[in-house]
């Protein structure tokens, strides 16, 4: 696959005001498994590079599945091509495992750093020099990073089997989403709570097999649109 595996990522421009339209565009990116903006390299949902091969975790896993199926498709396992494909299958599986492990470790370290920096600021204590040298982030940018990390982390837990349902994944992320935006003093917290409630309802329908995962993404898009419109109307009344 090589360098041709480089993922085509959507770039998201963040403005200082960080309107909810941009916010929920980023959430949808996280929910649908595409890479998200403003994250360090090799984070959940993002693109990672190993030995010159770059792509998302899903792409690494898909490549491993294809190569392993190609190996299984040859009945005579003693043929040179079968042996070669078996080796490539093992290598591809190892690469996918490395990407997944690196993403989870990086996400955990990123969240720990954000939490530690926030606590130091709340205590009025100085930040270490390395943290001070980093450009300051807008409170809403920090909130959206924490939200996207929470959704991606819980989604990966469901995919890995640690969480048994879509509802469990939503319940895993929802409290962290609320906390992130409360810390940022977001002015329309009821919209965030409404987003969480309806995302949970969508997850319940998927678990009951009344909604496919693809249809759930469409429902989520409609939810985003309604919340974007709700904020637009409120902002227009404030002017």
- State the pLDDT at residue 132: 52
- State the pLDDT at residue 21: 44
- State the pLDDT at residue 28: 45
Is pLDDT above 50 for 54?
yes
- State the pLDDT at residue 9: 26
Lowest mean pLDDT among 73-77, 113-117, 119-123, 142-146: 142-146
Is pLDDT above 50 for 65?
yes
How far is Cα 187 from Cα 39, in angstroms, rounded to an integer? 24
Question: Would you tell me how many other CB atoms lie within 10 Å of the CB of residue 73?
Answer: 9
- State the pLDDT at residue 31: 47
Domain boundaries, the chain: 2-238
Name the pairing type of β-strands 53-55 and 48-50.
antiparallel
Is pLDDT above 70 for 73?
yes
Where is 53: in which H helix or E strand? strand 53-55
- State the pLDDT at residue 131: 57
Over range 91-102, report the average pLDDT: 85
Is pLDDT above 90 for 210?
yes
Strand partners, 49: 54
User: Whole-model pTM?
Assistant: 0.49
- State the pLDDT at residue 201: 95
Count H helices and E strands in the chain, helices first.
8, 2
Is pLDDT above 80 for 74?
yes
Over range 191-202, report the average pLDDT: 92
- State the pLDDT at residue 7: 32
Q: Would you say the C-alpha torsion 16, 18, 22, 27 has a positive or negative sign?
A: positive
Residue 168: which pLDDT band, with cuts at 50, 70 and 90? very high
CA distances from 171 to 91, 167, 177, 190, 211 (A): 35, 6, 10, 17, 18
- State the pLDDT at residue 24: 47
Give the contacts of 191 (CB within 8 A, at least 6 positions apart): 20, 227, 230, 231
Kindly report, residue by residue over 125-167, the tens digit of the pLDDT: 887 876 555 545 567 767 777 777 788 888 888 988 999 999 9
Contact 203, 169 (CB under 8 A): yes
- State the pLDDT at residue 134: 53
């Amino acid at each position: 696959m090589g360098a041709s595996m480089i993922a085509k990522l959507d770039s998201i421009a963040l403005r200082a005001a960080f309107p909810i339209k941009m916010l929920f565009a980023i959430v949808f990116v996280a929910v649908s498994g595409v890479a998200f903006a403003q994250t360090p390299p090799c984070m959940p949902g993002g693109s990672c590079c190993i030995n010159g091969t770059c792509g998302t975790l899903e792409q690494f896993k898909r490549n491993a599945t294809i190569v392993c199926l190609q190996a299984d498709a040859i009945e005579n396992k003693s043929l040179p091509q079968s042996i070669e494909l078996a080796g490539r299958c093992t290598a591809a599986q190892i690469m996918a495992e490395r990407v997944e492990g690196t993403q989870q470790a990086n996400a955990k370290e990123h969240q720990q750093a954000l939490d530690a920096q926030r606590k130091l600021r709340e205590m009025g204590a100085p930040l270490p020099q390395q943290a001070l040298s980093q450009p300051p982030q807008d409170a809403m940018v920090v909130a959206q990073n924490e939200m996207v990390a929470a959704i991606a982390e819980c989604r990966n837990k469901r995919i890995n089997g640690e969480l048994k349902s879509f509802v469990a994944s939503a319940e895993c992320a929802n409290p962290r989403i609320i906390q992130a935006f409360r810390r940022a003093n977001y002015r329309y917290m009821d919209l965030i709570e409404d987003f969480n409630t309806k995302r949970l309802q969508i997850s319940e329908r998927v678990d009951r097999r009344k909604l496919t995962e693809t249809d759930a993404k469409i429902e989520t898009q409609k939810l985003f649109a309604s919340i974007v419109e709700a904020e637009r109307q409120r902002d227009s009344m404030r002017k």
